[in-house]
């Protein structure tokens, strides 16, 4: 069964539009129009993520984040904020969300993040395990990479970078593409910052695998070259 996403919004039209996009990508959706019931509903229905439509002056996001923390679910349920343009960004940061996007946003940004964070397969097993290459695989539910069954210590940004590279193995991803999937939309990230994080990721994988698997393409970007297991 595909992953369920709980969408917290009091705008029915916006929910219908977002639901249409998410269902087209293979997810199931449910509307939570009473914010105070968001956490309980997500837990009851085993939702993989809560997507919050954040309006200026609203305390919804902070309340949901607190509710997840109180239940010990902050690491189990992905919390995503869709931020109205005039919403207080400081409040978003304080809520310690997993990811935030400023509206209006290109749908592919949200879909790319969801694919890396919780998977998109309708098969229950594959939704928790990302692409498997050689001796390396992504554990999407645990947000970690495993090499021969052993976890490799990566930062959240490095994990998202690796997820993007493995999700499109062999293709060269530009720095702009990697910034789009690994950093919040509102963050200003210089191309050099991508190089620094790719360097850390490359070293971590080299220590674990004993070889380099990330290829630098001058003036273009990066690609991952791993023989895929059958």
Q: What is the pLDDT of residues 146-167, one digit of tens each?
A: 888 788 888 888 988 888 888 7
Q: Which residue intervals of the chain bear CATH 3.40.50.2300? A: 4-118
Residue-level pLDDT at 201: 94
- Please identify which residue in the block is written with the tokens 């554990």: 139
Q: pLDDT at residue 221 above 90?
A: yes
Burial environment of residue 145 by CB neighbours within 10 A (0 to 12, 13 to 18, 19 or more): buried
**In the β-sheet with 221-224, what is the strand arrangement from edge to edge?**
173-174, 221-224, 214-217
Q: Which residue intervals of the chain bear CATH 1.10.10.10? A: 129-224
Q: What is the pLDDT of residues 44-84, one digit of tens each?
A: 888 899 999 887 667 788 888 888 888 887 778 889 988 87
DSSP state for residue 98 in the 8-state scheme: S
- 129-224 folds as Arc Repressor Mutant, subunit A (1.10.10)
Alpha-helical (H) ranges within 4-151 are 12-24, 38-45, 60-70, 89-94, 107-118
Residue-level pLDDT at 91: 61
Highest mean pLDDT among 73-87, 93-107, 183-197: 183-197
Q: Does domain 4-118 have CATH number 3.40.50.2300?
A: yes
Residue 206 tokens read as 């080299």
Integer Cα distance of 92 and 112 in angstroms = 21
Q: pLDDT at residue 199 above 90?
A: yes
The pairing of strands 78-83 and 99-102 is parallel
Give the pLDDT band (50/70/90) at residue 197: very high
What is the residue-averaged pLDDT of the chain? 80
What percentage of the chain reaches a pLDDT higher than 90?
Answer: 14
Residue 180 tokens read as 């789009």
Residue-level pLDDT at 149: 78
């Amino acid at each position: 069964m595909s992953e369920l996403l709980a969408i917290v919004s009091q705008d029915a039209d916006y929910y219908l539009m977002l639901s249409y996009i998410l269902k087209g990508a293979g997810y199931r959706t449910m509307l939570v129009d009473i914010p105070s019931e968001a956490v309980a509903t997500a837990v009851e229905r085993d939702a993989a993520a809560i997507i919050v439509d954040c309006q200026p002056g609203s305390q919804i996001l902070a309340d949901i984040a607190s509710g997840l923390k109180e239940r010990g679910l902050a690491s189990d349920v992905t919390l995503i904020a869709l931020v109205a343009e005039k919403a207080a960004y400081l409040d978003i940061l304080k809520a310690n969300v997993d990811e935030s996007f400023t509206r209006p946003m290109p749908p592919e940004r949200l879909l790319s993040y969801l694919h890396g964070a919780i998977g998109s397969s309708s098969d229950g097993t594959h939704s928790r395990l990302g692409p498997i290459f050689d001796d390396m695989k992504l554990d999407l539910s645990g947000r970690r990479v495993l090499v021969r069954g052993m976890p490799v210590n990566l930062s959240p940004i490095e994990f998202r970078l690796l997820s993007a590279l493995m999700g499109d193995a062999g293709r060269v991803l530009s720095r702009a593409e990697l910034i789009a999937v690994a950093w919040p939309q509102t963050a200003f990230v210089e191309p050099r910052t991508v190089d620094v994080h790719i360097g850390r990721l490359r070293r971590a994988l080299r220590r674990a695998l004993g070889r380099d698997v990330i290829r630098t393409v001058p003036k273009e970007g990066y690609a991952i070259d791993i023989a895929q297991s059958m």
